[in-house]
Chain A
Amino acid sequence: MYDADQNRTERKVGQKDIKITARDVQVYYGTNHAIKDVSVEIEDKTVTAFIGPSGCGKSTFLRCLNRMNDTIDICRVEGNIAIDGEDIYDRRVDPVQLRAKVGMVFQKPNPFPKSIYDNVAYGPKIHGLAKNKSELDDIVERALRRGAIWDEVKDRLQAPGTGLSGGQQQRLCIARAVATEPEVLLMDEPCSALDPIATGQVEELIDELKQNYSVVIVTHSMQQAARVSQKTAFFHLGNLVEYDDTEKIFTNPQDSRTESYITGRIG
């Protein structure tokens, strides 16, 4: 293993750190080749958007980053994915610990059938992050504040999380994900089940989160990608077609397929 810290100091001039490096990643579902030769470098403290038509593999690739694909029997991942220079598919890496470091928010809000407090305290509890009740209270409050939902729920922390509205549930799930202090936050179409107002709230929240985390967001909405992200990757049929600054992708795409997609001709 090489020294990640030293590597970081060397790169720290002029540009942001590289948080995740993927090299020649291949994903197979049985015999179906879902991701082909994807190589990408994702920066720290940046929002990176994955766009592309349905079935292009963007969610599959996202799920490689915290090894959620391990839970699917027929799924096979090849190639190299490293976070802070450490290969996450190495045999010595425990996916359970990896997932504590790489949080994830899903398409549909999925609060556990527990109280709001217990939802947020779930991660800290299973990872033993709090020594006592008051520390746990602090962690929960901090996470809910970061999830921009504290003011709405502070008086009813013992109410069931499933009783909140859709947008509140999604922000609760974001708060739950940040409660374990992850370094990377993966978001799989986090706004597709939300109305425009809730979407706006979540987008605002994503913008704030990038100060602390590397955020990777999969989205179907190109406007959303343009609004929240600094870097954009366009996937098509399992290939990473183009990856660049968001501004450049939307104003001056290099690949004709990217241009067709963002102007609405394929998708």
Chain B
Amino acid sequence: MTTLAFALLFVLACTGYVMNRRAAQAIWADGTRLHSLSNFHGLYSLLLVVIPIFVLIILWLLLAPFVINAITVASLPADVMSEASSGQAQLILAEISSIAGGRVFGDPEPWKIDAANRLVFLNEASSYALVAAVVVLGAALAYFARQRVSAEFRARQRVETMVSGLMIFCATVAIFTTIGIIAALVFETWKFFSMVPFTEFLFGLNWEPQIPIREGQIAGAGAFGWLPVILGTLVITAVALIVAVPTGLMSAIYLNEFAPKSVRSVVKPFLEILAGVPTVVYGFFAILVVAPAIRSFGQSIGLDVSPNTALAAGSVMGVMLIPFISSFADDALSAVPNALREGSLAMGATRGEMMTTVLFPAAIPGIVGGVLLAVSRAIGETMIVVMAAGLIAKMTINPLDSVTTVTVQIVTLLIGDTSFDNPKTLAAFALGLMLFLVTLLINVFALRIVRKYREAYD
């Protein structure tokens, strides 16, 4: 039935468009000058029908189940619901809707079958009502739009207003989604901090979150100090940046300024391929190639290397970041005006001097911004570290040791046996919030640096 509603909406909108356009063209054919082109009259009708009815359908689909459930619950025998706790009420409702869907288990009480029948009826009534509402309202709007067609009617302005409204809506979707995400994180984190003291989380040096969630389960005693976890993230990020920043910058400088066209046309697509490799593939690479290689090399020179080192995960993550940094630096260097290159060369600078004394300083804001965005990505990167880094949090900065990261811990806390009234699960949200704050700080810092340098160089 929903499909039918959308199909009717489509038909109505098209009809409105064609009708308005024809009407406007008829006026024009009579020799009257139209204020707006006939196309705008058509679009006016189309948008006037589509926007409100689309919103209506979406709201209906979102809200109708609540209303129907409320009606069903209200019609149940009074003694059943008054005795039930909220959990039991949910269960009863779920059973009724599964009966309504034709999945009958065992022998339900007659009042449940009654309720299920009522539910089926209400659902059908709701979808018929939706279709009816779409047709009536759509036809009314199309009629209204058709009535307004006249030589003086400013259809173009109306269409522009509606389209700019749509654009504003799209532009704010991301903002509202972000606010929603933060709200959800803060809410769950709040619950976590009501179970675990804030200071323990922020300053504790132990991270052993695998506490029992059922009676009698064998598990750890529980400790929620995030410092070893964030330290692991920082170690891996540092390794990644040590690999990625020099390589990325050098490759950008070479490709931008020194490489012959033929080399550039081959290397650049390869770098882009590198950027398109899924991180899970990098994870394979880290765990199957890099980690064993580092381990056997370390053992051959007598070092004690753990099987999943920070070095392996970090260096593969660094490879992942190379195209990111390289393309940022390349863009920044390309954006430097050619006049500065020529000016420098005409002063008798070599290409190298030109690069270090003029181009690089002028491109610094873009490059620093790119590097800091790469830091954010490294901190938030999940798949490579889930596969290649360790699970046990250790207070160490030794890259040959096994460390864990914030993202790895979030993943391990949320898979398997979970329940949302338990600090083990809620700790994931606290970590998520901290991760969000750290990357936010870095991004703000990046923007400030970029702005500061821009002031000095422009």
Contact = CB atoms under 8 A, between A and B. Distances in A.
Given A110-B339, A126-B353, A162-B458, A99 B361 contact: no
Contact of B348 (A73, A99, A106): A99
A106 B342 contact: yes
Contacts, number: 72
Given A68-B342, A112-B340, A126 B348 contact: yes
Q: Chain A: interface secondary structure?
A: helix
A111 B346 CA distance: 12
B343 interface: yes
Contacts of A180: 347-348
Nearest to A104: B346
B178 to A, nearest CB: 35
B340 to A, nearest CB: 6
Contacts of B361: 113-114
Nearest to B453: A113
28 contacts: A66-B346, A68-B345, A68-B346, A96-B348, A96-B349, A97-B348, A98-B348, A99-B347, A101-B348, A103-B346, A103-B347, A104-B346, A106-B342, A112-B340, A112-B343, A112-B344, A113-B361, A113-B458, A114-B361, A114-B457, A122-B357, A123-B347, A126-B353, A160-B456, A160-B457, A162-B458, A173-B343, A180-B347
A101 B347 CA distance: 9
Given A68-B342, A106-B343, A123 B358 contact: no
A113 B343 CA distance: 12
B350 interface: yes
Contacts of B343: 106, 110-112, 173
A99 B339 contact: no
Interface residues on B, range: 20 to 34
A221 to B, nearest CB: 21
A148 interface: no
A193 to B, nearest CB: 11
Interface in B255-273: 261
Given A113-B362, A160-B457, A162-B458, A108 B339 contact: yes
B153 to A, nearest CB: 49
Contacts of A162: 457-458
A104 B349 CA distance: 13
Interface string B343-379: 1111111100100011001100000000000000000
B110 interface: no
B87 interface: no
A175 to B, nearest CB: 12
A127 interface: yes
B31 interface: no
